Amino acid sequence: MILRIAKKEITEMFRSGQFKWIFGIVILLSVVALFVSQKQWHEKHIQREEADKNARTLWLAQGATNPHSAAHYGTFAFKPQFPLSLIDPGVEKYTGVSIFLEAHTRNEADNVAAADQTGLSRFGDLTPDFLLLFIMPLVIIALGHQSITKEKENGTIRIIKAQGVSGLKLVLGKWLGNYLPIAFLTTILFLLASVMIVNFSWKFLLMMWLVYMMYFAIINSITLVVSSFSAKSGISLVTLIVVWIVSCLAVPKIASSYTNEKYPYPTRQEFEEAVALDKKTGIDGHDPWNEASKKLEEETLAAYQVSNLQDLPFNFDAFRMQKGEEHEAEIYYKHNELLREVHLKQTQVYKNLAFLSPFLPTRFISMALASTDYTTHWNFADEAEKHRVEMQRVLNKNFAENSKLGEWSYQADASLLSEVPDFHFEAPDFGTVMQSGMSNLMILTGWLIASLALVFYTSKRI
């Protein structure tokens, strides 16, 4: 009986002109979104690969050069385009894609796409995740808001009950009839995406599909519950639109504002002033008269039991610069860890507030699976900094071991530059992503169970 009711609902949908228009528009938008996203993804992928190769070529093209000059010449670390960012670009356009690696300074990611866009971009790009998170719930509402109310308005619910159809079978049949077309459309979208995506992991894609299917099941359940409690289809539609606005628009905005107010990041000026203040208390690689530099000089002379810097078995200028690099790296690590602590606190608040709307956990899990969340960006920035520190160590070591004090004209062989390896960044593996997103997954599961429990309660009420 449940399948018969579901079949009846689906048949009526396909006969409806409204259904045909809605599904036609959604299918068209999905295809356009996929093709536009695929084209943009491919262009960005090519651009980043070419930029990475060019940066490496320019780095090696310095030839024989002074190691410290090479350190200031610097190079770039590029964040790769991850496969599932085609479906969910996440925060990519706000975080930047490249970091300049140079001596003495830890730079932030640059080339932020949002900086080149107009104010209209805040209304959202036409991407698959936009359709899945915002548009598809509206489709579910449009198709299911009158599932129960139309039976009340037409007086057919009494006839259905008189035929021995229980409330549970009626509601489950209608739930399935509303859900299956959405599930079919979503599955097609993901299958099309899988054809367009290169070198993706099926684990990530299937998990993302499952998360969105859970999200739509929750929306579908809420739609059926509101329809059953409403006396008129118009009231049901207005109520569900309000629910959509609150769940998908208001709650995320309120959560963001509350989190930023509770745990605000320091301003750029405050951050740079704090870093500059700490730098003054340690070794300055370019200032031999710095108090910390003089202390290092005394300790080094005593350790090697010589009276003059010229008698040391290495170039003390390069040695001092490396110690300065290590000191500055510790300072940047310290202050960036303070920023990370703010990020972790904000993330925890978001996790605590995720129960307010199924939109939040779905959004967070989707971005994490696509490797386009803030956590992945933080990991990229940290790996880039480790690469920068190692680059400085290699250059300063060569300078110290192969030149004499004051020999600033020293030039290392071009082969030194190739000792600095290419930068590579890998996204977190599936286990790590799922472990970090377990709380969001549990909340989404809780929403699913609670919504289905409401459907069961509604069936008893009918």
Q: Residue 222: give the domain boundaries.
A: 1-275+317-462
Residue 295 lies in a domain: no
More reliable by pLDDT, 233 or 204: 204
- pLDDT per residue over 236-250, tens digit each? 999 999 999 999 999
pLDDT class of 416 with cuts at 50, 70, 90 = very high
Asked if residue 90 is part of any domain, the answer here is yes
How do residues 249-263 score in pLDDT, each as one tens digit?
999 999 989 998 889
Residue 147: which pLDDT band, with cuts at 50, 70 and 90? confident
User: How far is CA 172 from each of CA 228, 239, 354, 382, 455, rounded to the nearest angstrom?
Assistant: 12, 21, 27, 50, 8
Given a contact cutoff of 8 angstroms between Cβ atoms, the answer to whether 79 and 380 are in contact is: yes
Q: Is the pLDDT of residue 119 over 60?
A: no
Residue 139 lies in a domain: yes
417-424 own/partner pairs: CB under 8 Å, 24+ apart:
417/59, 417/60, 417/62, 417/65, 417/70, 418/60, 419/394, 420/59, 420/75, 420/390, 420/391, 420/394, 420/395, 421/387, 422/56, 423/52, 423/77, 423/78, 423/101, 423/383, 423/384, 423/387
Could you tell me if residue 301 is inside a domain?
no
* Residue 441 scores a pLDDT above 90: yes
- For 296-333, write each residue's pLDDT tens digit: 888 898 988 888 888 889 999 899 989 989 989 999 99
Q: For residue 230, which of 249, 218, 217, 243 has the smallest C-alpha distance?
A: 243
* Closest C-alpha among 387, 348, 350, 371 to residue 428: 371
Handedness of CA 427, 430, 431, 435 (dihedral sign): positive
Q: How confident is the model at residue 288 (pLDDT cuts 50, 70, 90)?
A: confident
Q: Measure the CA–CA gap between 77 and 162, rounded to whole angstroms.
A: 71
Please check whether residue 302 lies inside any domain of the structure. no
The model's confidence at residue 114, banded by pLDDT at 50, 70 and 90, is low
Q: Average pLDDT of 69-98?
A: 91
Q: Which residue has the higher pLDDT, 32 or 123?
A: 32
| 3-state SS assignment for residue 198 | coil
Of the two residues 2 and 120, the one the predictor is more confident about is 2
- Secondary element (H or E) of residue 299: helix 291-304
CA distance 4 to 177: 9
Would you place residue 2 in the very low, low, confident or very high pLDDT band (cuts 50, 70, 90)? confident
Q: How many residues does the chain have?
A: 462
Asked if residues 460 and 168 have their Cβ atoms less than 8 Å apart, the reply is yes
Q: Label residue 13 by pLDDT band (50, 70, 90).
A: confident
Q: What local confidence, expressed as pLDDT, does residue 162 receive?
A: 67
- Weakest-pLDDT range from 59-68, 110-119, 441-450: 110-119
pLDDT surpasses 80 at 85: yes
Q: How far apart are CA 154 and CA 68, in angstroms?
A: 83
pLDDT of residue 406: 83
Q: Quick one: pLDDT at residue 405?
A: 87
Instruction: Let me know: does 399 contact 323? Beta carbons within 8 Å.
Output: no
Confidence of residue 77 (pLDDT cuts 50, 70, 90): very high
Mean pLDDT across 91-116: 82
Tell me if 445 is assigned to some domain: yes
Which pLDDT score is estimated for 238? 94
What share of the chain has pLDDT > 90, as a percent?
53
Judged by DSSP in three states, 94 sits in helix
Burial of 356 (0-12, 13-18, 19+ CB in 10 A): middle
What gap in Å lies between CA 23 and CA 138, rounded to an integer? Answer: 12
Mean pLDDT of all residues in 342-347: 88
When divided into structural domains, the chain yields a total of 1
Domain contains 109: yes
In a domain, 297, yes or no: no
Q: Does the structure show a pLDDT above 90 at 183?
A: yes
- pLDDT for 113 equals 62
C-alpha separations of 186 from 135, 140, 173, 189, 247 in Å: 12, 12, 20, 5, 20
Dihedral over alpha carbons 225, 228, 229, 234 (to 10 degrees): 100
What does pTM read for this prediction? 0.89
What pLDDT sits at residue 124?
Answer: 57
pLDDT in tens, 364-398: 999 999 999 999 999 999 999 999 999 999 999 99
SS3 of residue 428 by DSSP? coil
- 122 pLDDT higher than 70: no
Query: What mean pLDDT value characterizes the chain?
Result: 88
Residue 117's pLDDT is what?
53
Q: What is the pLDDT of residue 95?
A: 86
Is the pLDDT at 120 greater than 80? The verdict is no
| Model confidence at 401: pLDDT above 70 | yes
Question: DSSP string covering 96-146, please?
Answer: -SEEEEETTEEPPPB--GGGGS-GGGGG----HHHIIIIIHHHHHHHHHTT
Q: Please choose, from the candidates 185, 171, 187, the residue with its C-alpha nearest in 3D space to the C-alpha of residue 220.
A: 171
In angstroms, rounded to a whole number, what is the distance separating the alpha carbons of residues 192 and 454?
34
